[in-house]
Structure 1
Amino acid sequence: MTAKAKAVTTVPSFPSSEVAKKLADELVVSVKDLATIQGIGLPAIHKELLEKAIHIDSHTIVEILCVLDQVVGFEVGQDAVRPGGYNSIEEAVTDVTARVGKLWAKHYTEEVAS
């Protein structure tokens, strides 16, 4: 007897907190690495680091999106990132999480419809 995949009949709730945390954690690591290379000082307090005005290139964010794939259950592509980048980790997390939420709704709405 083979197991059948359970069909999705409703759009599941978007795990926004988990997406935001995973993204913030990865961005903190990335920003710290870049700051070390560039000799930029960063705040030691986590909340201040999230809010610090520092440019984060959109390519940097695209490179770490794969950490979200397992959380959301599909490949998150560059559509989740605003061209031009962001001015803080907090801004990036807020925008990318919202964009992934829209991709989530589209992905699972199409899955329910099929």
Structure 2
Amino acid sequence: MLKVKEFREERSILASQVVEVVREQYPGYDKYLNSKVENPEKYGVRLVNDAEQMLEQAFLKVTPAPRKPDKRRLPQRIQCRLSKTNYERLQQAFRVAGFDTVQAGMQHLIIKYLEGSGYDV
């Protein structure tokens, strides 16, 4: 027995997509009936085996491709939030100091901080 609601949620399928597929073979199937099929313990309604097979064939489970490993030269990221005003001031200060990017400026500041803090490990 196919649990339609779980099936739909696992595959990120909309209820309207389920209705479309089942309606091809069973024209009287609508969103109200689908709601009842998704709650069989409440309404005692479920799909016939043929309709379940149609759904399984129409929405085959596809496993997503694994994420590619991060191949960055500097893989670790540090992030913070600034007000727009302070961000613009920081960008301008980095440009004046000769840094091409905010990342280059931040990297310089972090390294200087670590060298001067005595926390070198």
User: Could you tell me the TM-score, scaled by structure 1's length?
Assistant: 0.27
- Higher helix content, 1 or 2: 1
Which entry has the higher C-alpha Rg, 1 or 2? 2
Q: Which has the higher contact order (CA 8 A, sep 6+)?
A: 1
User: Could you tell me the TM-score, scaled by structure 2's length?
Assistant: 0.26
